[in-house]
Amino acid sequence: MQPFKYIPKLNNGDLRNKVDIHGYIETENKFGEVTRRFGKIRSTWAKIIPQTGSLQTQAADTILTNVTHKIIVRYGGNTDIAKEMKIMFKGREYEIRFILNPFEKNETLEIFVQEVLR
């Protein structure tokens, strides 16, 4: 069977952005209690692709922006990425909307995110 020729293989040079994965980390304090805090879990190489963007004017002349990106990472050690986590890149914060394993090939993960503007 011929592989699907219209889906190009991921080039390692495309993963040129080092992103930080943030999530809840469980730590034990000096009293033996387990506490959860939000912090950096690890860093990984990724490809960040802008998808869409929109501006909405709200009441009192405030502007709501919606910028959506797709972040592609290798499948290997990144399978523990969950929707509750956030991705940080160059001081920008991205909320994970959903995670896709294209064609269930276990090669890459496509993480669809929304940029959080502060």
Any domain includes 6: no
**Residues of the domain holding 84:** 12-116
Note the pLDDT tens digit of each residue in 11-41. Answer: 778 899 999 999 999 888 888 899 899 999 9
User: Which residue is associated with the tokens 């930080």?
Assistant: 20
Q: Does 100 map to a domain?
A: yes
Q: Please report, for the domain that includes residue 58, its CATH number.
A: 2.40.10.270
Domain presence at residue 5: no
For the chain, the domain total comes to 1
Q: What is the pLDDT of residue 53?
A: 67
Considering the domain boundaries, does residue 4 fall inside one?
Answer: no
Please indicate, yes or no, if residue 35 is contained in any of the structural domains.
yes
Q: Is residue 1 part of a domain?
A: no
Q: Is residue 46 part of a domain?
A: yes
pTM for the structure as a whole: 0.77
